[in-house]
Every structure is written in structure tokens, then in C-alpha cells.
Amino acid sequence: MKPHRQRDALSDRITAYIGLGSNLDGPSGQIQHAFMEMGALSHTSILARSHLYKSRPLGPQNQPDYINAVAKLATELEPLVLLQALRKLEEAHGRQRTDEGRWGARSLDLDILVYGDICLDTPELTLPHPGIHLRSFVLYPLAELAPTLVISGHGTVQALRDRCHTPAIERYEEAANE
């Protein structure tokens, strides 16, 4: 079936949810800056941002805890253009992709969790992001912004969050009040 894009009533803007994560070089500051920078992307604005959360790393455990959050964007950028813009932000934050493992430490990770109601499965971009239903650090902040959002094939964000407790996660109060 041809995917169609959910547009809001007033413009050509699509609602997208972005997962943010960092565990290097002042993680909460990295996330706070990334929120501002995403809001400054062309044809894009931030509609909402979650609190910050602290979570244990997925995969290799010999790395610092992560700070995670989710942003709700309204954007006119096509999915691959948005992905490219997010990669540029990761690079501007000093992210090195070369010798880190897939789940290695990183200064900034920006994943497109959901883009309207588009489903895509290509090597470069999978939508919705395939790890959403398994990751506490995505589901806790996403449930703040979109509890009734349905992740295709998995159910609502709220129900998924209620069943998902790994990796260990807690609210990061200090940074959330900055």
C-alpha cells in the first residue's frame, strides 16, 4: 500500500518524533543544545520536548550511562533530508562513527522514531525506528509526548512503555530543571 503522509490542517508540515541520546562530553548539555539546534533547522520547528532520562547502556556495559529524551517536530523536510540534517548535527557535536561499535559511546545520537504515518524499510532509513518497542529510553520520554500514538504492529506507546523496563531508567531531574 502506498504510504501517505499525515499533514496538519494548516500547512505541509509532518509531525516527527526524534530520539536523542548521549553519553560523552557532558551528555545533558549535548541534549539541551541538540533540542535548540533541531528547532533551528530549516522548515522545522519543535512542538514539544520530553524531560531528560538517565539509562544504562544497551550492549557493551563498559561505557557511561546515557541521557535520553524525545522531541516532537513539525517539519517540511522529507525523511531522508531530515536524516541527513540530523547526521550533520551529530557530526557538529563531535560524533565519531569510525571506530565505535554499533552500541558504543557517543556524544550525540539522533534517531527518527516516527515520521507521520510513513513506513519505510531501506538500508539507510527504517520507519518507524525498529527498536522503539524494546527500548525503555525511547518509550519513557515518548510516552510523555504521545501516549496514544500507535507503533505499527506493536500497539500504543503507553502500553509498550508499561511493559518495558530495560535498560534500567530514571528521570534525570537536575538537568530537566535547567
Strand partners, 53: 68, 171
Q: Which of 111, 136, 141, 169 binds Mg ion (CB under 5 A)?
A: 111
Q: Is 28 in the site for ligand ADP (CB under 6 A)?
A: no
- Nearest alpha-carbon partner for 145 in 84, 58, 62, 74: 74
Work out which of 14, 111, 116, 132 binds ligand ADP, going by CB under 6 A.
111
Q: Is 161 a catalytic residue?
A: no
Nearer residue to ligand ADP within complex by CB, 11 or 80: 80
- Contact with Mg ion (CB under 5 A): which of 15, 109, 138, 172? 109
The answer to whether residue 90 forms part of the interface with Mg ion (CB under 5 A) is no
What residue has cell string 530495560? 166
112 touches ligand ADP (CB under 6 A): yes
CB of 9 to ligand ADP, least distance (A): 26
**Which residue's C-alpha cell is 506493536?**
154
Tell me which residue of 33, 7, 48, 32 sits closest to 174, measured CA to CA: 32
DSSP string, 106-174: -S-EEEEEEETT--EE-SS-EES-TTGGG-HHHHHHHHHH-TT-EETTTEEHHHHHHH---S-EEE-HH
Q: Which of residues 65-104 bind ligand ADP (CB under 6 A)?
A: 83, 97, 102-103
In the annotation, is 106 catalytic? yes
The partner in contact with residue 14, picked from ligand ADP, Mg ion, none with C-beta cut-offs of 5 to 8 angstroms by kind, is none
Separation between Cα atoms, residue 106 and residue 63, nearest integer Å: 10
Q: Hey, what's the cell of 112?
A: 527518527
Binding region for Mg ion (CB under 5 A) = 109, 111
Binding region for ligand ADP (CB under 6 A) = 83, 97, 102-103, 109, 111-112, 124-127, 129
Which residues belong to the active site?
A: 95, 106, 109, 111
